[in-house]
Amino acid sequence: MNKYIYELILKVRDYECDLQGIVNNANYQHYLEHTRHEFLLSAGVSFADLHTQGIDPVVARITISFKTPLKSGDQFVSKLYLKKEGIKYVFYQDIFRKEDNKIVVKAVVDTVCVVNGRLTQSEVFDKLFAPYLRNDD
Residue 56 annotated in active site: no
Q: Which of 80, 78, 76, 79 is nearest to 98 (CA)?
A: 76
Q: Of residues 18, 126, 136, 137, which has the active-site annotation?
A: 18
Q: Are 110 and 58 in contact (CB under 8 A)?
A: no
- The set of catalytic residues is 18
